[in-house]
Amino acid sequence: MLSENEIKIIDFLKKKENKSAYSTELSSVIPETAVFSLAYLLKDKGYVSVKEEEKENIILTKEGEERLKEGLPEDNLINFLKGESKKIQEVAKTFKDFNIALSWARKKGLIKVDKGEIIPLKSSYVSPEYVVLKKISSSQDLSEDDKKYLKELESRGLIEIKKNKVLLLTLLKEPEIRPAITYLTPELLRNKEWTKYELKEYNVEALPPFIPLGKKHYFKEFLEHVKDVMVSLGFKEVKSDFVEMEFYNFDMLFQAQDHPAREIHDSFKVDGKGELLNQSLVKRVKEVHEKLWKYSWKQEVAKSLVLRSQTTATTARVLSTSPNKEIKVFTIGKVFRPDAIDATHLIEFHQLDGLVIEENFNFRELLSTLRAIFSGIGIKEVKFKPAYFPFTEPSVEVYGYIQGLGWVEMAGAGLLRPEVTEPAGVTMPAGAWGLGLDRLAMLFLGIKDIRNLYSDDIEYLRNRKVEY
Ligand SMILES: N[C@@H](Cc1ccccc1)C(=O)O
């Protein structure tokens, strides 16, 4: 069997007129360092003959390169004088390499020196040595005449003559080419036909071609993972729209219309008004606002539209159906808040809100529910800190521990205030929480810029691996 490089050498020789080539030529098809050993391998296999020869290799020295650029000093001197005699001292002052130029010009009989004057015998001149120098630098063949000047050029230090061992390879026979097959059939074995074929080796280490398959966006994958966690804990998913009446986004959550609590986070206003169909619920909400916040509640304000600023609006929607029965629901969805966009802030992001209404539900159970949710998502250590939300009492902020980052605030939670549950006709205790999912995904997936969560850069998405 012949290797790929051996075949390359044979192919190269095949194309040559006399089927032979010097090892120096072969370096154009195979690595120079391999030429010699391959040549002898091919010789042993009987494909080529190899003859060792000494070859002269002439190269220009650094000075030679310089002279090639500037011209030989003696030539330059003649061309400088332009056929006119001049005083030695005068020329010596302005002419570069004067001594070398003078001595070579004299030796070559290009000038005479008489009474302190240089008398040129030619009006312009190019030395044959210069012509040879030029030929060497452009690897032209040298004539026998040219070769006479090599000794002089070498002694002037303008060229270097090196003797190299080269191999002359001559092709003796061409390998018979057998068609290649990749598998044997019983047929081929039975009739001994297999000897006519080359059996190709399998390269079991070759990588298969990369075929990018369709896959889900990794952030969507993360959101679905969270959804699975909630479902596995016995919660049912509920949904509501992005465009929401302030009634559900704020009023039902006991955020007063004229109170800074309403501005706890800013919201995007939407043109137009919604319709409040359940007027008895509206009346009860109005009463509780006016009684406790002491101001005149306006239905017109409550009907104003916003892009929901919290998914707690969905929780309010659930409450508005007066579900005076035990429920466990959650929602995952987008919320919108005006902000300056940067690596950690977007004007739309995702929240997970949850609601539990249960006989005997209490604060302790709320905390253990939160622990279970966080543990399901993958955050085993959580701690709680007292906090304020307009619609819960007591309220907590939930901190999760992330390796390498420490304690990070992740959610708000609490037991719903009677001002929220009573107008909705809920008499059992209820717990609620809201959790920011974008920040959590960033921490979890090691993402530094929140905008990457919404990237549509196909290369970036292809290279992201998400495992749970
Ligand atoms: N909606 C609150 C979080 C929250 C929800 C439910 C109960 C308590 C707090 C927020 O966006 O900050």
Q: What are the residue ranges spanned by the domains of the chain?
A: 1-67+142-175, 73-126, 177-206, 218-242+309-463
ipTM of the predicted assembly exceeds 0.95: yes
In this structure, which CATH number among 1.10.10, 1.10.357, 2.60.40, 1.25.40 belongs to the domain 1-67+142-175?
Answer: 1.10.10
Ligand 1, atom 9: closest residue by C-alpha: 412
pLDDT of residue 56: 83
CA–centroid distance, 432 to ligand 1, in Å, is: 8
Give me the CATH topology for the region 218-242+309-463. Answer: BirA Bifunctional Protein; domain 2 (3.30.930)
CA distance 413 to 151: 97
Bridge partners of 54, per DSSP, are 165
CA distance 328 to 310: 19
- Check pocket membership of 366 for ligand 1, CB cut-off 6 A: no
Q: Does 384 appear as a known binding residue?
A: no
Query: Residue 38's CB: how many other CB atoms inside 10 A?
Result: 20
Ligand 1 pocket mutation pick from 244, 263, 310, 348 by most atoms within 8 angstroms of CB: 310
CA–centroid distance, 13 to ligand 1, in Å, is: 81
pLDDT of residue 199: 84
pLDDT of residue 260: 67
pLDDT of residue 263: 66
3-state secondary structure of 345: strand
CA distance 86 to 121: 12
- Check pocket membership of 431 for ligand 1, CB cut-off 6 A: no
pLDDT of residue 153: 95
What is the C-alpha end-to-end distance of the chain, expressed in Å?
A: 51
| Contacts of range 72-76, beta carbons closer than 8 Å, 24 or more positions apart | 72/104, 72/127, 72/129, 72/130, 73/97, 73/98, 73/100, 73/101, 73/104, 74/100, 74/101, 74/104, 74/105, 74/108, 74/110, 74/125, 74/127, 75/125, 75/126, 75/127, 75/130, 76/101
Ligand 1, atom 6: closest residue by C-alpha: 433
Nearest residue to 251 via CA among 286, 300, 292: 286
- Check pocket membership of 414 for ligand 1, CB cut-off 6 A: yes
- Check pocket membership of 392 for ligand 1, CB cut-off 6 A: yes
CA–centroid distance, 68 to ligand 1, in Å, is: 84
CA–centroid distance, 387 to ligand 1, in Å, is: 11
Q: Does 312 appear as a known binding residue?
A: yes
User: Measured at the alpha carbon of residue 458, what is the angle toward residues 457 and 460, in degrees to the nearest 5?
Assistant: 70
CA distance 78 to 98: 12
The rounded average pLDDT for each run of 10 residues, N- to C-terminus, in the chain (468 residues) is: 86 93 89 90 95 89 95 95 93 92 94 93 95 92 93 94 90 86 90 86 85 88 95 97 97 88 77 95 97 95 95 97 89 94 91 97 97 93 94 96 84 97 95 95 87 92 77
pLDDT of residue 99: 93
| Contacts of range 60-63, beta carbons closer than 8 Å, 24 or more positions apart | 60/133, 60/136, 60/137, 60/158, 60/159, 60/160, 61/157, 61/158, 61/159, 61/160, 63/157, 63/158
Continuous H helices in 218-303 = 218-232, 246-249, 279-292, 299-303
CA–centroid distance, 264 to ligand 1, in Å, is: 11
Question: How far is CA 55 from each of CA 58, 137, 162, 389, rounded to the nearest angstrom?
Answer: 10, 17, 8, 93
